[in-house]
Amino acid sequence: MKDLLRLRTSLSEEIETLLNEQIKVEAHSSSVYLAMSSWCNRHGFDYSAGYFQKQSGEEREHMLKLFNFVNDLGGRAISPEVTNIPQDFESFRSVFEQALQQEIYVTQQFNRIADRCMKARDYVTFQFLQWFLKEQVEEEYVARRALELFDVIGEEGTGRYEIDKHVPKIKYDNE
């Protein structure tokens, strides 16, 4: 019976499992960014709160894009359980440090899946992943630039306020 069900999808079990793991990673990222938004809001960083809320929505869109892809190919997309979301952060800067770490981790995960797709000769999924890999260049760029504001502007005096104002203005224009 299990073999018969596999005939309904062109995804191998391995690739389907990896994509479902990535669905969970994206859902976790969305929840972490939402928690960051709330933390920024509570600490008076309104612009950054809006930025992280927008990021949360983008991560959810990424999750759904993966979810729909698995289902569209006849696989079984799994709605992820999301746990262990931090609600408090050490400092304003640490929120952005964690955001950059999160984006680097996501890039590594997509690279891992792309590598497995190439080895499995799953060129359909490999092609699908290209959009995410390109998106990760932008995500890392913006996260890195936001963190650099802390060094360029500094946190003393009105520095945090200035950083907060500049965060939503960061754009990746390498298109």
Burial label for 120, CB within 10 Å (0-12, 13-18, 19+), is middle
Q: Give the tens place of pLDDT for each residue, 45-69.
A: 999 999 999 999 999 999 999 999 9
Is pLDDT above 50 for 158? yes
Q: Are 110 and 132 in contact (CB under 8 A)?
A: yes
- The packing angle between helices 13-42 and 92-120, to 10°, is 170
What mean pLDDT do residues 156-165 have?
93
Q: pLDDT class for 173, splitting at 50, 70, 90?
A: confident
Is pLDDT above 70 for 163? yes
Distance CA 38, CA 26 (A): 18
pTM of whole model > 0.75?
yes
SS3 assignment, position 81: coil
Does domain 2-77+89-169 fall into CATH 3.30.565.10?
no
